[in-house]
Structure 1
Amino acid sequence: MRMPVCFIGHGSPMNAIENNIFTKQWKNLIENIHPKAILMISAHWVSDKFEITTNLYPKMIYDMFGFPDQLYTVDYPAHTDKTIIERCLSILPTLKENNIRGYDHGAWSILIHMFPNADIPVIQLSLNRNASPQEHYELGKSFQILRDEGVLIVGSGNIVHNLRVLDWENENNEYDWAKNFRQRVNECLIHHEDEQLIEYSQWGNDAILSVNSSEHYLPLIVCLGASNHDSVLITNDKIISGSLSMTCVVWNK
């Protein structure tokens, strides 16, 4: 069965140890989906080139600060898969192999809900700080073929992500510029306006405030490239604390 493509709005790392409306929906999104491997693109791995994890048992990376001790004991003991890694390298030989990289919280905080048994191989790809959104889109297109080979492509980030102006006192707040940007992204997704989504930086002040740094938006673009204009499902479509969207997107044939 051809695998879908999922973009997950991961929000706070605390979601890893909480049961809430968002994490419950993450589980629902992959109901009856049984991939042979997961190709993960997380906002929390950005390097100078596109890289791929090649170590068999990546360690946990607790790349967040100031949270309860419980969060730093979370373990997601997944492993990679040599065959899938070699397949990725055959598709894109320019990928840089990284045999020391572990799983960052952008990956494990959502996978611990989606696939709690950690029995499916997880291979991570990095974002590239020197590559354009168009190049990230092309990266996704390159790996589109893996969907027909049983590989689930998952992006982890946030469409709206501006922690500098979070409203810590009102979780239900939604700034107008965040709502406007989120709505425009949704409309472009539904109408398969890929070029508009790639060129989001041309959208003015709403985009500047919503994507004050690109790493949480780019996993969406990688997933978009892998989507092949499949049918779109948008869920968890809520902004919390003014400027953090939990929106998830699933593309399925």
Structure 2
Amino acid sequence: MSRMPTVFVGHGSPMLALDDGATHRFMMGLGATMPKPQAILVVSAHWETASPRVSAVLKPRTIHDFGGFPRALFEMQYPAPGAPDLAARVAQLLPGTMIDEARGLDHGAWVPLKLAYPAADVPATQLSVQTMEGPAHAYAVGQALRPLRDEGVLILGSGSLTHNLHEFRSPVQEQPPKPWVTAFADWVAERIAAHDIDSLLAYREKAPFGPQNHPTEEHLLPLFTVLGALDAGEAAVAWHRAYTYGILAMDAWGSARAA
């Protein structure tokens, strides 16, 4: 069984599923760049709970957790099978995790999965994030889940490297990113390259424009889970770097693709 990489992706607007662009094309080619997983565990920014929960649904429904978008987006379905065995394994590795018998796949999960694995033939499930617990907790979750990579599981963090929707000004995807967005994304890239986990965990104090890029933390926490799932000394590399709407850094970071 091939050891799976682990990767964090920016899922951006739900329109990523429909609109062509650099990140749309990156996502469409994502599945072909790594071994086919036995199952996928998505840590999505759009499932926030006080303590960890993992879905054990046999047939996860496609959750359209958004409004104001074209009808074609609401008609999209992603009928991948669930992964109850994986859910049980997650609960074993992460004591205190509750099994959820109802949760489907929110757009933080099904949008990237629909692009990367359009056949919907890989069992997939979700693990929630604990926003109030902060980055160190998310990192520890990744450390606990690390053995899954040797069990054919793709750990996919789905959020956004920058996420301040209060600054949204224009629906035009291709526009110059704001300086405070690029400064933050470049700082993260530098700290990841230096394997400076301590600074990354303290990004709100140490990064330029940290709180401005993340008024709330849920969209960055999946990155810390992916970083935690790396082995000691294993480098994280950039899989993709791009910007949309001038405010969203759509960077993808993870282990080397060929694990």
Alpha-carbon distance, 1:235 to partner:
3.7
In the TM superposition, what are the counterparts of 1:59-70 in structure 2 within 5 Å? 59-70=61-72
What CA distance in whole angstroms lies between the structure 2 residues aligned with 1:53 and 1:82? 7
Normalising to structure 1: TM-score of the pair? 0.94
Consecutive unaligned residues in structure 1, runs of 5 or more: none
Which of 216, 221, 227 is the equivalent residue of 1:218? 221
Verify: 1:178 aligned to 2:181, yes or no: yes
**Partner of residue 242, structure 2:** 238
TM-score, normalised to structure 2, is 0.92
Contact 1:162 1:210 (8 Å CA) reproduced? yes
Aligned partners of 1:167 and 1:173 also within 8 Å: no
> How does 1:37-186 map onto structure 2 within 5 Å?
37-168=39-170, 171-186=174-189
Counterpart position of 1:207: 210
Whether contact under 8 Å (2:7, 2:254) holds in the other structure is yes
| Post-superposition offset of 1:237 | 1.3
1:120-156 deviation line (CA, Å, top 9, x unaligned)? 1112000013312101100010000100110000011
Give the alignment of 1:19-34 within 5 angstroms: 19-31=20-32, 32-34=34-36
Cα distance change of structure 1 residues 39 and 204 upon mapping to structure 2, 3 Å threshold: closer
Offset at residue 49 of structure 1 (A): 1.2
Match of 2:253 in 1: 249
- Listed one character per residue, the Cα deviations across residues 211-250 of structure 1 (whole Å, up to 9, x for unaligned) are 1111111110111101224333314312222211111112
Q: Distance in 1 between matches of 2:142 and 2:225?
A: 4
Q: Is the 8 A contact 2:183 2:208 kept in 1?
A: no
Q: For residue 14 of structure 1, what is the aligned residue in structure 2?
A: 15
Unaligned runs of 5+ in 2: none
CA contact (8 A) 1:166 1:244 kept: no
CA distances 1:27-78 after superposition (whole Å, capped 9, x unpaired): 3333242110001001111112111001211111111110000100110011
What CA distance in whole angstroms lies between the structure 1 residues aligned with 2:158 and 2:223? 8
Task: Give the CA deviation at 1:169.
Answer: 6.3
1:199 Cα deviation after fit:
1.0
User: Over residues 143-172 of structure 1, what are the superposed CA-to-partner deviations in whole Å (9 max), with x where a residue is unaligned?
Assistant: 001001100000111111111112316641
Aligned partners of 1:161 and 1:231: how far apart in 2? Answer: 25
CA distance in structure 2 between the aligned counterparts of 1:205 and 1:7, rounded to whole angstroms:
21
User: Which one-letter code corresponds to 1:11 in the other structure?
Assistant: G
**2-structure distance, mates of 1:233, 1:133:** 19
Would the aligned equivalents of 2:131 and 2:221 in 1 still touch at CA under 8 Å? no
Structure 1 stretch displaced more, 98-107 or 87-96: 87-96
The code of the aligned residue for 2:6 comes to V
1:2 match: 3
* Change in 2 beyond 3 A, CA 1:28/1:204: closer
Cα distance between partner residues in 1 of 2:129 and 2:169: 28
Contact 2:175 2:246 in 1 (8 A): yes
Give CA deviations for 1:12-37 in whole Å, capped at 9, x if unaligned.
10111234321221233332421100
Residue 216 of structure 1 aligns to a residue whose secondary structure is coil
Q: For 2:154, what is the secondary structure of its paired residue?
A: strand
Aligned structure 1 segments of 4 or more residues deviating by more than 4 angstroms: none
Determine what percentage of the aligned residue pairs are the same residue: 34
- The number of residue pairs the alignment matches comes to 253
Is 2:195 the counterpart of 1:192?
yes
The two structures, once aligned, show a CA RMSD in angstroms of 1.6
Mapped to 2, the partners of 1:16 and 1:150 lie a distance apart of 26
